Amino acid sequence: MDKQALDHFKTRDPVLHRLALRVGKLEAIQRERPQRYFARLCREIICQQLSGKAGDTIFGRFVKLFPASLIRPSDVMNLSHDQLRAVGMSHAKADYLRHLAEAIVQRRLKINQYEAMDDQAIVADLIMVKGIGQWTAEMFLMFVMGRPDVFSYGDLGLRKAIFKLYRLKPGRSAKQMQLIVDRWSPHKTYAARLLWASLEP
């Protein structure tokens, strides 16, 4: 657990601090190299609404379509729709991957500038691509770019954990939730990971 984050939670949110002590060590997020951003976005799209095992299986077949397992936008565009479908993905996801590849090749997506962009700008850029929504963009920030201050209000697991941990009452929960989450900045990503950990058996 990041010591700065832990000290911050101790000062700003004793409830979350107690959870952090109970959860203990969190595995460090491995920040991806920018050259891997496109492949990780492909993986996020392929794995949407699938179990971890099913998503990993389909993505593994997808990777084998490329020489030396190097996934480049131009190579995805050169694959036919049927070739993409043959690895087990849906019609929609095959289309989404092509939309993503085209957006990068045509430089409509600013993926090469993400290192210098703030979180909101990156989300706004990503969600312009068909098949990438707010949640997928936020997961990209957290687990691919390793951004430290990201929280996904649309994640059902996070909402469930907050309701349980803070005993929120229906009706006033949205405002209360925002006030709670605001306390965690600039360490919202660590807070989210603690909340997910609290849901594990």
Each residue's pLDDT tens digit, 116-149? 999 999 999 999 999 999 999 999 999 999 999 9
Contact 88, 61 (CB under 8 A): yes
Same domain, 56 and 112: yes
Domain identity same for 82 and 127: yes
Structure tokens at 70: 């190097």
- Do residues 89 and 115 share a domain? yes
Q: Which domain holds residue 22?
A: 3-29+151-198
40-53: per-residue pLDDT in tens? 999 999 998 888 89
- Residue 60 and residue 127 share a domain: yes
Residues 90 and 129 in one domain: yes
Q: Mark whether 23 and 40 lie in a shared domain.
A: no
- Residue 171 is predicted with a pLDDT of 66
Residue type, 23: V
pTM comes to: 0.91
CA distances, 110 to each of 15, 127, 135 (Å): 39, 12, 19
Co-location of 41 and 25 in the same domain: no
Same domain membership, residue 111 and residue 18 = no
CB atoms within 10 A of CB 29: 16
Residues 53 and 112 in one domain: yes
Report the number of distinct structural domains present in the chain: 2
Which residues of the chain have a pLDDT value below 50?
A: none
| Side-chain half-sphere exposure of 14, counting CA atoms within 13 A | 0
